[in-house]
């Protein structure tokens, strides 16, 4: 993913994060996972490109060795008077020398592309770490904002007419219950003494000694 595509992606998803502010952590994690995938894809491409660069390097080396071999064969053929064989060896030498240049060009181009991609992946990894830290900050801010909203909503509710009327209604019911309790207590007063004292005759019957005295 190019830097322009990454930037366009982040801008395009900005409003998604804002609109889904109730789930900021899940949203931000999803975006970070997408960046992680791009980093992994970039590293995989780096590995392939490095293998390709190494392949071109080996091909250039092999072609150079073949060119040297054909040059030696041409020298030997000339010394032996084999002009046709010498010319053929020289032609092959020229061919392999061209292949050396071709493979070296491929290697150079692949190396340049690899270094450019490695630089971009490194930058993306740094941006990812920055965004990860930013995600933690945004999640903390979102949680604080939601807590403040809940507290503010509760404060508003505690000062609302609805709650005050509810408390007043409950207070009135309790007052009615208290009044009924007092009324019931007035209709059935509690006796000071539940068992009446015995009469004098009963006392004498219970205590004959007191009666004789």
| Backbone dihedral angles phi then psi of residue 168, each to the nearest 5 degrees | -65, -40
From CA 95, how far away is CA 103, in angstroms rounded?
12
Determine what percent of the chain is predicted with pLDDT higher than 70.
75
Give the pLDDT confidence of 39-48 residue by residue, as tens digits: 999 999 999 9
The 10s digit of each residue's pLDDT in 117-144 is: 999 999 999 999 998 888 888 888 888 8
Query: CB atoms < 10 A from the CB of 160, how many?
Result: 11
Nearest in space to 39 (alpha carbons), one of 165, 110, 123: 123
3-state helix, strand, coil in the chain (%, to 5): 90, 0, 10
Instruction: State how far the Cα of 77 lies from the Cα of 96, in Å rounded to an integer.
Output: 18
Cβ-in-10-Å burial (0-12, 13-18, 19+) of 63 comes to: buried
Is the pLDDT confidence value at 55 over 80? yes
201-210: pLDDT as tens digits = 445 444 555 4
pLDDT for residue 195: 47
Distance CA 137, CA 131 (A): 10
């Amino acid at each position: 993913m190019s830097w322009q595509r990454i930037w366009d992606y982040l801008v395009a998803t900005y409003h998604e994060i804002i609109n889904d502010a109730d789930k900021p952590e899940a949203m931000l994690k999803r975006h970070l996972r997408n960046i992680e995938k791009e980093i992994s894809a970039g590293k995989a491409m780096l590995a392939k490109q490095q293998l390709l660069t190494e392949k071109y390097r080996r091909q250039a080396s092999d072609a150079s060795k073949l060119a040297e071999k054909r040059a030696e064969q041409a020298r030997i053929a000339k010394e032996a008077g084999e002009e046709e064989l010498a010319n053929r060896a020289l032609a092959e030498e020229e061919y392999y020398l061209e292949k050396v240049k071709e493979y070296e060009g491929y290697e150079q181009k692949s190396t340049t592309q690899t270094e450019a991609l490695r630089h971009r992946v490194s930058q993306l990894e740094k941006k990812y770490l920055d965004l990860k830290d930013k995600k933690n900050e945004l999640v903390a801010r979102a949680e604080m904002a939601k807590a403040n909203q809940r507290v503010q909503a509760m404060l508003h509710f505690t000062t609302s007419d609805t709650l005050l009327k509810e408390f007043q209604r409950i207070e009135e019911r309790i007052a009615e219950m208290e009044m009924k309790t007092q009324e019931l207590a007035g209709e059935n007063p509690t006796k000071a003494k539940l068992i009446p004292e015995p009469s004098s005759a009963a006392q004498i019957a219970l205590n004959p000694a007191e009666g004789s005295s």
